Chains A and B, each alone.
Chain A
Amino acid sequence: MTDITAQLQEQVLIARTTEQPLNIVGANTKSGLGRISKGQTLSVREHQGVISYSPSELVIRVRAGTTISCINHVLAEQNQRLIFEPPVFNEQATMGGTLAANQSGPCRPWFGGVRDSVLGLGLINGLGEHMQFGGQVMKNVAGFDVSRSQVGAMGTLGVITDVSLKVLPAFESEVTMALNCPVHEALHLMPRYFREHLPVTGVSFWQGQLLVRLQGSQAGVDSAMKLIPGEPMEPLLAAQWWHKLRECQVFESSQSQVLWRHNLGATDQQDMCHDDCLLNWGGAQRWQLLPEGEEATNGAIRYLGGSREAEVNGPVNSVARKLQGKLKMAFDPQSIFNPGRLYSWM
């Protein structure tokens, strides 16, 4: 439990005066994501601890350096859970980094991503000002939604100091149904899990196997499993699979290979729909490991591995680029934070 807000603010002010860029780092578990940012390290790692947690409010507020594992542990004691099932990355991943890099797990399409759980946050901008946006209540539309805008910004808009999150009760029961089928049949079966009211929390396809995870009340899961084709999977094997998928451990990427990720409409029959692709999020997220130099389909991003010099997030049209550039200036007028981390031009 350490509050180093004043120290973080001080470092930002020094960086501002000396015009020295800062590279914001939590536990450094996401150094392989995005582009490489050159700058002096600003570590948020020690800024840890649960600031408040009230189970009956379904709200937890933590400092940005608090690990996801720690939050999971605190919530589990009260039989609650983080809604967006983020990766824990060897128990090191922090809440600030998870939000900045927009990391959600297999349940994303049905329970929402980081953005849907965030209620508010604290932020130090490029002027060294510490501010609070949003809050700890479920509904809040006063002022612009600065909190959710940080999701996916890779720390380019400021230093996240604390995050307030909505949480939910833990699931009572879980079962995974497995069906062997070719990829096109899997894609044909997946849409029903978006259009039918079932307690589905994960749908993946890998190496000829379609897996559907059901979580919820005992009665709900028991009745729903009868409606899902395939056989129940052995619980330990199923748990290992969803862990591997969440932690991005299905592929092992290297310098000579690039792991491509494509987030798209779940029913798309063309893009990254090969037997060697991994499908997650009911087909709305697709992964492919390719040798460096070989491009995946248009719209895919260079998620991990290979060179991080070029753009990793694909092209951005001129209007979106102009607006994001101006937004960056509104938060960080001297471009101190994570230069180049999100785009080469920011």
Chain B
Amino acid sequence: MVSLVAPSPSAHSRKELVADLIAMVKPEQVLWDDENQRPFECDGLAVYRQMPWVTVIPDNIAQVQAIMAYCYGQQIPVVVRGAGTGLCAGAMPHASGVLLVMTRFDKVLELDGDLAQARVQPGVRNLALSEAAAPLGLYYAPDPSSQIACTIGGNVAENAGGVHCLKYGLTVNNLLAVTIVTMEGELVTFGGAGFDTPGMDLVALLSGSEGLLGVVVEATVRLLPRAEKVQVLMAAFDSVQVAGDAVAELIGSGVIPAGLEMMDQLAITAAEDFVKVGYPTDAKALLICELDGTSAEVAQQLQAVKSCFTDCGATSIRVAKDADEAARLWLGRKSAFPAVGRMSPDYYCMDGTIPRSQVGHVLTRIAELSVHYDLPVANVFHAGDGNLHPLILFNDAQPGDLEKAEALGGDILTLCVDVGGTITGEHGVGLEKLPLMPYQFSDQEVAQFRGIKLAFDPHEQLNPGKAIPTLKYCQEYRSIQHD
């Protein structure tokens, strides 16, 4: 488990810092006692915990600018937090830093039905945006499983995905403009209401930058029209290899589903036990496929998908008869994480992406690793885009179990890199995956990332110690690998 390097003590005492912050915001917007700060000590990856030094909850941009300019001048680290649903300890606080909580920026500033765009504050919840756009027949496409709670600012920071990425893209593909406050407290907007503003694409650079380059204070996003028709079907297979091949075959044949999800037997059983949606628990793998478009398009695609899966050896195919049944088929998939959570005191969620053609090979290897480490692994993943979420079951109360789970997770992610993929598809690096960065990137590439970081944040105060390792760390990593 990675820990942050012990910070050099600030010249400030906490008392002085609190007094200075209260001069910028209202007293109730500053928290410093343990009881009030406890909810902020971790994000969705709760094994990583750190109490913040001081927490500030600003409610306007001028306050954010003042706080950032002050922290810049005083060389105080700043960690930005949205809803804290991230899964890589990216929002874990800094022991001698300010935690900037952006949840009060919760207004949809503008909904433009004609342009199919929304201008929002960063604390707007992902699902709340789609709900606000619903009367216009529109929705916001990126739909991470935490969408009920996660916020747009956090989605931008992590470049969040979801189950509909293959057809509708990640956050970056749905983001038109972003306004940030820099570490120095300056306000700047990149992008605009139109597409492709001139110059280098800094909207893309900020997407997925994990709070290392600036504080997102506003975003303009695209909204999409609801499809006329949505159809969901489920296909069972008697091996994960065959199901994986069916995914490659379907996409190679020219059908691009709105969502294409796969679960293995452990995940199927766990979900069925939990929500009882009628999944075939004897199946070794299940594919859930969503098609959308005009009624005519969907009818044509449905035939193509059915015949493809049948030809590939599906043991059963069930087409949802109505919206209610479609919702139930999705419910099993969407409940898979908590369902697996019921089977074990703790679980650890991985997030590698691999080429689709490697699905069978990688799942077979994960099964071998599971036996080797003696920890069960349930597999749930976005098959359409090769994004795996192996869930490693362990018991934190058992000494050594967490370390074993982390070692197994590390082996799974290096396997993803070995087959041409990546250590993280949508959850981010944060603190958690920092040790694996030198496996995926050369020292020169890491040095280039550090150069970008310093261009925005010359003293490395923004979310320090996360996402990009130091070169010293990379060199140590390589010397250990050689030994």
Which A positions have Cβ atoms within 8 angstroms of B? 54-59, 79, 102, 104, 108-109, 112-113, 115-116, 125, 129, 131-133, 135-146, 148-153, 156-157, 168-170, 191, 194-199, 216-220, 222-224, 262-267, 281, 284-285, 301, 313-314, 316-317, 319-320, 323-324, 326-327, 329-331, 342-343
Contacts and interface: CB of A to CB of B under 8 A. Distances in A.
A146 B446 CA distance: 11
Interface string B158-171: 11010001100110
B442 interface: yes
A197 B228 contact: yes
B447 to A, nearest CB: 8
Contact of A219 (B212, B228, B297): B297
A323 B199 CA distance: 12
B201 A196 contact: no
A50 B299 CA distance: 36
Contacts of B420: 135-137
A158 to B, nearest CB: 9
18 contacts: A54-B357, A135-B420, A137-B353, A139-B353, A141-B208, A141-B427, A142-B424, A143-B441, A143-B468, A145-B159, A149-B205, A151-B201, A217-B297, A217-B300, A224-B294, A301-B198, A317-B188, A323-B202
A56 B249 contact: yes
A284 B226 contact: no
A341 to B, nearest CB: 11
Interface in B250-284: 251-252, 254-256
A263 B194 contact: yes
Contacts of B252: 55-56
B461 interface: no
Nearest to B454: A330
A131 B445 contact: yes
* Chain A CB within 10 Å, residue with most, of B116, B137, B182: B116
Nearest to B248: A56
Interface string B72-98: 000000000000000000000000000
Contacts of B188: 317, 319-320, 323
B448 interface: yes
B199 A324 contact: yes
Given A115-B204, A139-B170, A143-B449, A152 B199 contact: yes
A160 B364 CA distance: 37
Contact of B209 (A144, A198, A217): A144
Given A139-B385, A195-B113, 19 more contacts: A56-B251, A57-B357, A112-B169, A139-B353, A139-B386, A139-B422, A143-B437, A143-B445, A143-B449, A144-B205, A145-B204, A150-B201, A151-B204, A169-B254, A170-B254, A197-B228, A219-B300, A264-B193, A319-B182
Contacts of A115: 172, 196, 201, 204
Interface string B285-322: 00000001111110111000000000000000000000
Interface residues of B, number: 100
A294 to B, nearest CB: 20
B200 A281 contact: no
A30 to B, nearest CB: 14
Contact of B445 (A112, A132, A329): A132
Contacts of A266: 114-115, 194
Contact of A329 (B165, B197, B207, B455): B455
A195 B226 CA distance: 9
A144 B293 contact: no
B378 to A, nearest CB: 20
Nearest to A327: B455
Nearest to B422: A140
Interface in B172-205: 172-173, 182, 186-188, 190, 192-202, 204-205
B425 A109 contact: no
Contacts of A331: 448, 451
The 8 closest A-B pairs by CB, nearest first: A148-B204, A330-B451, A56-B252, A169-B254, A265-B193, A138-B385, A139-B425, A219-B296
A138 B247 CA distance: 14
Given A55-B252, A113-B196, A137 B422 contact: yes
Contact of B225 (A169, A195, A218): A195
Nearest to A198: B294
Contacts of A317: 188
A281 B176 CA distance: 15
B474 to A, nearest CB: 12
Q: Which of B117, B355, B386, B448 has the most chain A CB atoms inside 10 A of its CB? A: B448
B448 A138 contact: no
Contact of B114 (A195, A220, A224, A314): A195
Nearest to A261: B198
B193 A199 contact: no
B205 A284 contact: no
A263 B356 contact: no
A137 B387 CA distance: 9
A264 B30 CA distance: 40
A195 B117 CA distance: 10
Contacts of A156: 200
Contacts of B449: 143-144, 146
A320 B199 CA distance: 11
A120 B459 CA distance: 29
B22 interface: no
Contacts of A323: 182, 188, 202, 455-456
B200 A151 contact: yes
A195 B137 contact: yes
Contact of B195 (A191, A263, A343): A263
Contacts of B137: 195-196
